[in-house]
């Protein structure tokens, strides 16, 4: 009989927890009616007191010209018991001192349980605050699920208790048309090579004396992103301000190109490293040069005498002409099938005819000659960025190519190097996709979001909104920038 009684108690407990947002809310709302009503009143009061949206960065800077990056634009937490507000790192101390466990977050007005150390969702409370004022009291009185609802009974009977602590990924708050910065930073934050560098003995903030150092700002972002507490997004304010001060064209709230910002950021990270070589041509051995920079070889062959002129230049990415690929497929009768990344790479490395007015051959006495030009990759970086050039600008019109370009999860880059047919271990040239940046909208008005690999899973980052997605979702995206990582770092890549 005792065993039956114990089973009944456990069953009732589980039903109570599944009905409420968490076990702590079950205790707060499911016991004393007076305590429950007081909690609901505090919940609605906090909900109405908090602004639905955070202040803009511009307004905040006007009010405080010298803000502390650790507090500006950070979400605040209002205690539902005493209405005191605190930052995320101050919640535990407040709870230990007062015994108060529940807070409302200022940005999304989400309920946070300090006992669970997580945001919690409660069906009844959500109904309560989404109801008009005149009916809120009636909603509160109908807190318990209706026994006549088969769907709600099914949820109560089949819900299981889960660990409350949230682990994983974090979004980035949009500080005013800063989605271009967010997608690039998210791509870097999810890169294992850069994570090892910045969380190890990489850029040392306390040893750096440079003003508005981009390296310091990115290092702070890595530290913030990988902090022990990860339930909410954060603002990369220091990186934004350092970028504004480093480049007048970036300063302000106008829309920027994510590809151009990536190039800017890599160049500034390289410049932030002690002992770097500014010219890139003197064999720079700094971490960022080895990680981001490859080498591109251009070979021009004179059609008349066969003289070959070779030049080599550093590359931080590959800009692939999707327009050419799309037009070729349309002329070949394959206009319905999407362009492919491999097709774009083949076009990029294919021979190109030059007219005599653009090339003077040294073998022919520096006279104008027709020639053939070909680009090949001399050296591949550890992190390979490829831009799918969707934007075309002419004297008469500027347009964007919409639609999907097929790209793979893994790619062999050996066929596009200076030694495509060499007898080498092909595994040294295999790259795996780590991020895919998407641009939605028109040329002068659009929005960026990014898919990033998180361990063996994928997540969609739309500013501070994070959504779990499948590999198929990623491959169906209309990508603008693709980030690939070298699978093996044990061998040289040339």
Active site residues: 179, 447
CB-based burial of residue 200 (10 Å sphere; 0-12 exposed, 13-18 middle, 19+ buried)? exposed
**Residues ≥6 apart with Cβ < 8 Å to 450:** 182, 183, 186, 187, 435, 436, 437, 438, 460, 461
Q: How far is CA 147 from each of CA 23, 125, 150, 160, rounded to the nearest angstrom?
A: 21, 19, 7, 19
Please say whether the dihedral angle defined by the alpha carbons of residues 275, 278, 282 and 286, taken in this order, is positive or negative: positive
Question: What span, in angstroms and rounded, lies between the C-alpha atoms of 201 and 203?
Answer: 7
Structure tokens at 386: 């490829």
Question: What span, in angstroms and rounded, lies between the C-alpha atoms of 414 and 345?
Answer: 11
Answer whether 309's CB lies under 8 Å from 362's CB.
Answer: yes
Phi, psi at 67, each rounded to 5°: -75, 155
Question: What span, in angstroms and rounded, lies between the C-alpha atoms of 122 and 22?
Answer: 8
Unique residue bearing structure tokens 């318990």: 144
Phi, psi at 182, each rounded to 5°: -60, -45
- The full DSSP string for 425-456 is -GGGGEEEEEEEEEEEE-SSSEEEEEEEEETT
Three-state DSSP at 368 gives strand
Question: What span, in angstroms and rounded, lies between the C-alpha atoms of 420 and 463?
Answer: 40
Are β-strands 318-321 and 383-389 bridged in parallel, bridged antiparallel, or unpaired? Answer: parallel
Q: Provide the b/e sequence for 274-298 (b: ≥16 CB within 10 Å).
A: eebeeebeeebebbbbbbbbbbbbe
Phi, psi at 109, each rounded to 5°: 50, 45
Answer whether 103's CB lies under 8 Å from 114's CB.
Answer: yes
End-to-end CA distance of the chain: 76
The closest alpha carbon to 40, from 100, 9, 5, 80, belongs to 80
CB-based burial of residue 402 (10 Å sphere; 0-12 exposed, 13-18 middle, 19+ buried)? exposed
Structure tokens at 101: 């466990």
Please say whether the dihedral angle defined by the alpha carbons of residues 69, 265, 392 and 472, taken in this order, is positive or negative: negative
């Amino acid at each position: 009989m005792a065993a039956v009684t114990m089973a009944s108690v456990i069953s009732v407990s589980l039903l109570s927890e599944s009905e409420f947002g968490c076990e702590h809310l079950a205790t707060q709302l499911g016991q004393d009616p007076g305590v429950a009503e007081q909690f609901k009143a505090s919940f609605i009061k906090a909900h109405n007191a908090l602004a639905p949206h955070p202040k803009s960065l511009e307004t905040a800077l006007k009010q405080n010209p010298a803000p502390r990056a650790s507090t500006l634009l950070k979400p605040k937490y209002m205690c539902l018991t005493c209405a005191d507000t605190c930052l995320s790192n101050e919640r535990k101390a407040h709870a230990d001192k007062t015994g108060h466990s529940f807070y409302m977050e200022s940005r999304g007005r989400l309920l946070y349980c300090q006992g669970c150390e997580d945001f919690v969702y409660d069906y009844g409370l959500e109904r309560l605050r989404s109801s008009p004022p005149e009916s809120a009291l009636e909603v509160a009185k109908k807190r318990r699920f209706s026994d006549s609802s088969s769907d709600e009974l099914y949820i109560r009977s089949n819900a299981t208790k889960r660990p409350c602590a949230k682990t994983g990924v974090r979004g980035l708050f949009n500080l005013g048309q800063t989605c271009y910065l967010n997608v690039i930073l998210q791509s870097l934050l999810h890169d294992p090579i850069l994570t090892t560098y910045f969380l190890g003995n990489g850029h040392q903030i306390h040893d750096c004396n440079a003003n508005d150092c981009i390296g310091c700002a990115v290092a702070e972002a890595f530290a913030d992103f990988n902090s022990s507490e990860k339930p909410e997004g954060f603002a990369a304010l220091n990186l934004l301000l350092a970028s504004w001060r480093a480049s007048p064209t970036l300063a302000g709230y106008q829309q920027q190109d994510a590809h151009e910002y990536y190039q800017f950021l890599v160049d500034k990270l390289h410049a932030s490293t002690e002992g770097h070589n500014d010219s890139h041509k003197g064999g720079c051995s700094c971490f960022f040069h080895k990680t981001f920079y490859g080498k591109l070889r251009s070979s021009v062959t004179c059609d008349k005498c066969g003289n070959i002129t070779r030049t080599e230049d550093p590359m931080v990415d590959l800009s692939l002409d999707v327009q050419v690929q799309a037009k070729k497929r349309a002329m070949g009768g394959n206009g319905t099938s999407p362009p492919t990344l491999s097709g774009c790479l083949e076009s990029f490395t294919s021979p190109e005819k030059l007219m005599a007015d653009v090339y003077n051959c040294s073998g022919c006495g520096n006279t104008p000659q027709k020639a053939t030009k070909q680009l090949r990759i001399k050296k591949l970086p550890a992190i390979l960025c490829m831009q799918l050039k969707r934007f075309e600008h002419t004297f008469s019109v500027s347009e964007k190519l919409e639609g999907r370009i097929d790209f793979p999860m893994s790619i062999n880059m050996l066929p596009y190097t200076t030694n495509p047919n060499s007898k080498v271990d092909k595994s040294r040239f295999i790259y795996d996709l780590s991020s895919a940046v998407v641009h939605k909208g028109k040329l002068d008005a659009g929005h960026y979001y990014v898919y990033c690999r998180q361990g063996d899973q994928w997540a969609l980052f739309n500013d501070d909104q994070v959504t779990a997605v499948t590999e198929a979702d990623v491959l169906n995206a209309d990508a603008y920038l693709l980030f690939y990582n070298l699978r093996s770092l044990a061998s040289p890549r040339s």
